[in-house]
Structure 1
Amino acid sequence: MYNAESINKILKGELLQQTGFPEIEHLLLDSRKMSFPETSLFIPLVSARRNAHQYMEELYRKGVSNFVVSEQIALENFPKANIILVKDTLQALHALVAYHRQQFHIPVIGITGSNGKTIIKEWLYQLLEKDYNIVRSPKSYNSQIGVPLSVWQMKPEHQLAIFEAGISQPGEMVNLEKIIRPNIGIFTNIGEAHNEGFLNIRQKINEKLVLFAKSELLIYCKDYLVLNECVLTFHAQFGKKDNQEGHQLLSWSRKTDADLRITTVEKGDTHTSIEALYKQAHTLSIRIPFVDEGSIENAIHCWAIMLHLGMEATVIQQRMELLSNIAMRLELKQGINNCSVINDSYSLDLGSLTIALDFLQQQQQHPTRTVILSDILQSGKGEASLYEEVASLLQKKGVQKLIAIGKNISREKKCFQQIPDLKTQFFNTTDEFIQQFNSAEFQHETILVKGARVFEFERIGKLLEQKAHQTILEINLSAIAHNVQQYQALLKPGTRLMAMVKAFSYGSGSFEIANLLQFHGVDYLAVAYADEGVELRRAGITMPIMVMNPEPSTFDAILHWNLEPEIYSMQILLQFEEEVSAAGKTQFPIHIKLDTGMHRLGFEKKHIPELAKILTENTLLKVQSIFSHLAASEDPAKDSLTQQQGRLFFDMSHELQKALGYAVIRHISNSAAIARHPDLQLDMVRLGIGMYGIDSSKEMKDKLRNVSTLKTTIAQLKHLEAGDTVGYGATWEAKGPATIATVRIGYADGYPRRLANGKGKMLIHGKLAPVVGVVAMDMLMLDVTHIPEAMEGDEVIVFGQDLSVHLLSTWADTIPYEILTGISQRVKRVYFQE
């Protein structure tokens, strides 16, 4: 048991104030994810962009009474709190969890590498859960913050631990090794991910190998030649010494001699059979329900672990054949009856349930939050205490409706029925729920579907999700958050961030993106028209929203929904002032647009004296910000124009602010200017297309992640002879035998007609297939003659990670903005969080 006094001793800190010593069970690093205030320890982390000490008073008011801090605190504001002072809160977090890890003497498997870490971890859980009570990293918690949160989960009842570790720059793995301290190591493979932080591939491998400095065993594949060389050098340093057992290796290979020598790999349509020679003595085989190379490699790593643990060959064979797909993400989809459905139906434990509930709580678009939950299996806790904790979680996260499926959770129904205002239903099996399913019972709700895989909750997901066209746009919410953070890291202290969500968030969605931005602490949103802002307000978005194109006919809606209009002319100013007066409001926030060279909208320099006079003589309006637009901030050849605009804006805004007599926010920087013109960041910047992974500079491009993937499927294959034509107008003619794939996308979905006859291309099985014939309204054709493996129903990538929207826009002789905003609303959006 931990309390403030024992933790202070561990950290060798200074106990600034003690008012009691309640038991501490939970580490709280993110103020937005608080579940159990009474038993939580808040450790405010400090970065270049954000100092989490600022959230202490808010958390104290919500019931948190234990804090570890790295700066002096006004103790009188926390009269009933225990406060420990340390030099560095991140180091304190690491030290505390490293101490916690030392209290356990069970096997701990540590996994690192470039790809496959999370899948191997989850597959090992599937393969070993019948034999061990296992604690593992939630989702892909493998960072300097994620690893401590994972290892802190270790409890006396656990018999095996599996943790993954990832790094992005040298020096990080030393910290994670002390926290995980694995007995058994797996190095999955080595690739180009996060390469920018390292001198070369060898440095990256050697940095990752630090995780296994005190391991008893390291499992790896010899077929990665540089990895093999680095591992052998590492083993020579940390292996057997002075007649004492030290670091041992367990290698596998498909090419050369190894402890596990793969002799045969035979792929079928849905399964792969693998044979191997183990320790040059035993011929073994497994069969897995996957055929891709990544899954084969991941399965062999798992095989090696099971052999090391001494499991019988027949048991390994049986379990390998039952491996199932791992849900690497939380998906948010449109549901029936104006519902939103979060599908996380493949695994369930307390850690992943907490993550899913955090995502549910982030959603504000519907008045009701519903959870469909199965039994939690292999928790290591007594059922009563387990479901009491689950009930408490649901209450803390504002869940109003629970549908519980399973005999165990149903036996503990009293835990849930005693929660005020929580509506509950209980079913013994998934079949029982489906038999009684009534779609009319689900209206305007956000529904989390969360179940252990044996309950087959994917069947429930299909009932609740709106039937979708096979052409979909996938939006990676984690990538948006990452991109926002990349720009935030460039901002000067105190500079705010306005996110542009106009034009349906550049085609990506409305409230789905706004919910994410609100959760991540963006300061302002901007929309093009008032109705966009009204939709966000109706979806529960409470943060400030600027309307960039206010129309007099929408002034009443702006006032009613507390939106903030851009004022760009005297006419609009006077009309809005009149509307505010009629509504009986005062000090209503507005944003003044200045024209510094774009020559589109805005007040010119000659208008400033009159504008200042009008604004200072009335109390109806309050200027919230003064801003302007840069015309060519992305173009180095136009930097002189950008600097000229900056100087003019500074002069005009200074003159206006001086007349107003109070401080206002000034902003002129767009996405490109944030990085290219840091001197123009001022009080706030406006982030638009960069949030979606698109930036003109190579430096920023390398830091950003792809957000949007537009995909469709092959509807039919046609086999043509020389002379056969394709499509309207017969504009394309086969020169010889050809195979043509008709795919489910056309100009009504937003695919440009100008990409006909070879100008546009799409990806099938990783290969580019050119468009042939003209683009029709709902369909188009691709030449797949060179892709013999193409089949009807196969996935087709229109743009995404491996075929960028920037390249597509170049083929179409346009810009990414037009492609993204042109995607039709009939194309269903699927949102996911990794």
Structure 2
Amino acid sequence: MFPAISIERFAELLGADIRLRGTGASVQAVVSDSRQALWIQPTAFLALQTQSGDGHQYALHAAQQGAVALVVAQNGTFDLPPELPGECSVLVVDDPWAALRRLAAHHRREMNGTLIAITGSNGKTTVKEYLYHLLGDARIARSPKSFNSQLGVPLSLLSAPVDAPGMILEVGVGASGDMALMAPWVRPNVGIFTHLGDAHAAGFSSGAQKAIEKAQLFTGADWVVVPAAESEIAAAISVPTRSWSWNTSLDADLMFRWEAGVLRWTDQSGEISGEASCPALSAVEAHNVASVLTCIFYLGWPWNPEGLSDVRSAGLRMERLPGVSGWTLLNDAYTSDLDALGWALESL
């Protein structure tokens, strides 16, 4: 939800023509699913066209559910029905997807806090949740669930209060060209590049191309956290953006060691150092924790070391559930690539 915008200003931000002006005065939220509760706050429905469906087919239903505005395409399949509720305005744009990005870009310009963007082949959602958990500040906004797609990123950004001291935003890409549609308006202050793996490999000609595509997100950022062991990631980060590297065995800007239930860290100069109790973690869990702590230390923000004791419970991944006959069920339904399967098996 964002600050209330008049229908006229909303249309201006979208680059829309007002085809029909209803009685609704303002908009505070946008959705693309007509099944959502549209009456809680003044909500606009975006008729998005995807490979699996056409939102114009659900526009009337959205209006009947309480939408105060319908955003439809000039060449779309929506005709003004006589039964359209009187409160609902109809706004016409060339491309509803581009209109959504324009609205998100406006909201990003209004935001005052630090935007931390996370990308990578794996670990985006877990790193986001770990970071939020260890910061322990309810004022920090974050992407819901794993909203990191061309739709999820702008909707996540629009959900953040403009006065939030910070936001943690995960950003994913599936093919070459995807990041170019988002990076110019996401404009993160800092970021985390989690890992480069096989997820969405079919959309790229090589691992290096995928790294370069994802790294576009950090163009203009102050710095980005990278794993020192993955040289393709560091090579993809464009100057003047600074890379802060971490590792557990090789030289890096920040080094981590897990020993007998204690996590220790130190940087090259010794200015950043410390230790905290931490349970034994799998390799992928340790990878994610190291990425998060590197980000926190270079931000210089306060954090809760005691949160390491239950950091596993914060992630939406690798959920351990008791099964029958002493079996353990590992719920990792948020992903389906082979890297993640290997890490899941290793953690058991």
Per the normalisation by structure 1, the TM-score is 0.37
C-alpha displacement of 1:168 = 0.7
- After the TM superposition, which residues 12-27 of structure 1 pair with which residues of structure 2 at under 5 Å, given as runs? 12-27=15-30
Quote how far apart the aligned CAs of 1:52 are: 1.2
Name the structure 1 match of 2:133. 126
Matched, 1:258 2:265: no
Fraction of identical pairs, as percent: 26
Q: Write the mapping of 1:86-105 to structure 2, written as runs, cut at 5 A.
A: 86-105=93-112
> Post-superposition shift, 1:215?
0.9
Quick one: structure 1 residues 33 and 218, their matched pair in 2 at CA, closer, same or farther if it must change by over 3 Å? same
In structure 2, the residue corresponding to 1:325 is in which secondary structure? helix
| Equivalent residue pairs, number | 337
Q: Aligned in 2, Cα 1:178/1:230: closer, same or farther, shift over 3 Å? A: closer
Secondary structure class of the residue paired with 2:91: strand
Once the two structures are TM-superposed, the CA of residue 2 in structure 1 deviates from its matched residue by 1.5
With over 3 angstroms needed to count, the CA separation of the structure-2 counterparts of 1:204 and 1:19, relative to structure 1, is same
- Give 1:248's aligned residue: 242
Q: Check the 8 A contact 1:115/1:189 in 2, yes or no.
A: yes
C-alpha distance in 1, partners of 2:332/2:266? 42
Q: State the secondary structure of the residue aligned to 2:116.
A: strand
Secondary structure in 1 matching 2:105: helix
2:282 to 292, 300, 311: 292
Q: Give the Cα separation in 1 of the matches to 2:70 and 2:208.
A: 41
The 5-angstrom pairing of residues 528-539 of structure 1 reads none
For residue 236 of structure 2, the aligned residue among 225, 230, 237 is: 230
Judged with a 3 Å threshold, the aligned counterparts in structure 2 of structure 1 residues 160 and 473 are, in CA distance, closer, same or farther, namely closer
Contact 1:147/1:164 (8 A) holds in 2: yes
Query: Match for 1:12: what amino acid?
Result: G
Whichever residue aligns with residue 258 of structure 2, its letter is: V
Provide the rounded CA distance (Å) in 2 between the counterparts of 1:11 and 1:152. 14
Task: Between the two structures, name the one with larger relative contact order (CA 8 Å, sep ≥ 6).
Answer: 2
Matches within 5 A, 1:386-401: none
Partner of 2:144: 138
Kindly state the Cα deviation for residue 229 of structure 1 after the two structures are TM-superposed.
2.4
Given the alignment of the two structures, is residue 82 of structure 1 paired with residue 89 of structure 2, yes or no?
Answer: yes
Is this contact kept in 2: 1:38–1:64, CA < 8 A? Answer: no
TM-superposed CA distance for 1:33, in Å, is 2.6
Number of the residue aligned with 2:57: 54
Q: Distance in 1 between matches of 2:285 and 2:51?
A: 39
Residues 781-830 of structure 1 show CA distances to partners (whole Å, capped at 9, x for unaligned) of xxxxxxxxxxxxx96xxxxxxxxxxxxxxxxxxxxxxxxxxxxxxxxxxx
Partner SS for 1:307: helix
Whole-angstrom CA distance in 1 between matches of 2:41 and 2:264: 54
**2: CA distance, partners of 1:330 / 1:90:** 33
d(CA) in 2 for partners of 1:82, 1:143: 28
CA contact (8 A) 1:303 1:316 kept: no
After superposition, the C-alpha distances for 1:232-280 in whole angstroms (9 at most, x for unaligned) are xx22xxx0xxxxxxx2222223344332134x333x4xx3x33333241
C-alpha distance in 2, partners of 1:305/1:134? 15
Relative distance call for 1:471 and 1:69 in structure 2 (3 A) is same
CA distance 1:67–1:318, shift in 2 (3 Å): same
1:10 and 2:4 matched: no
Displacement after TM superposition at 1:156 (Å): 3.8
What secondary structure does 2:102 align onto?
helix
User: Cα deviation per residue 1:374-403 (whole Å; 9 max; x = unaligned)?
Assistant: xxxxxxxxxxxxxxxxxxxxxxxxxxxxxx
In structure 1, the residue matched to 2:32 is 29
Are 2:222 and 1:209 equivalent residues in the alignment?
Answer: no
C-alpha separation in 2, matches of 1:274 and 1:16: 61
Query: Structure 1's 63 and 35: CA in aligned 2 closer, same or farther, altered over 3 A?
Result: closer
1:216-615 matches, cutoff 5 A: 216-231=222-237, 234-235=238-239, 239=240, 247-262=241-256, 264-266=257-259, 268=260, 271=261, 273-282=262-271, 283-311=273-301, 317-328=305-316, 468-470=324-326
Deviations 1:299-334 (A, max 9, x none): 11121122123247xx65444345342352799xxx
Q: Which runs of 5+ in 1 are unaligned?
A: 240-246, 332-345, 347-457, 480-703, 710-762, 768-793, 796-834
Deviation string 1:164-209 (CA, Å, 9 cap, x unpaired) is 0111101111222234321011001111111111000000000000
Distance 1:37 1:157, change over 3 A: same
- SS of the aligned residue for 1:85 comes to strand
Once the two structures are overlaid, the 10-residue window that deviates more, 93-102 or 30-39, is 30-39
The equivalent of 1:110 in structure 2 is: 117
Instruction: Tell me, in whole angstroms, the C-alpha distance in 1 between the residues paired with 2:265 and 2:41.
Output: 54
Aligned CA distance change for structure 1 residues 295 and 33 (closer, same or farther; 3 Å): same
Using the alignment, how far apart are the partners of 1:151 and 1:16 within structure 2?
27
SS at structure 2 position matched to 1:302: helix
Q: CA deviation at 1:476?
A: 8.4
Using a 3 Å threshold, how does the CA distance of structure 1 residues 72 and 114 change in structure 2: closer, same or farther? closer
Change (3 A) 1:59 1:127: same
TM-score by length of 2: 0.85
Flag structure 2 segments of 5+ consecutive residues without an equivalent. none
Evaluate the alpha carbon distance shift between residue 57 and residue 37 of structure 1 in structure 2; reply closer, same or farther with a 3 A threshold: farther
What secondary structure, in the 3-state scheme, does the structure 1 residue paired with 2:35 have? helix
The RMSD of aligned alpha carbons is 3.2
Amino acid at match of 1:63: G
Distance 1:214 1:705, change over 3 A: closer
Corresponding letter in the other structure for 1:19: G
- For 1:298, the aligned partner's letter is N
Is 1:254–1:261's contact at 8 Å kept on the other side of the alignment? yes
Distance of 1:193 and 1:292 partners within structure 2? 20
Residue type at the aligned position of 2:152: G
**Alpha carbons 2:183, 2:217 under 8 Å: kept:** yes
Aligned in 2, Cα 1:477/1:59: closer, same or farther, shift over 3 Å? farther
Deviations 1:725-772 (A, max 9, x none): xxxxxxxxxxxxxxxxxxxxxxxxxxxxxxxxxxxxxx9x959xxxxx
Partner of 1:119: helix, strand, or coil? helix
State the match for 1:200 in structure 2: 206
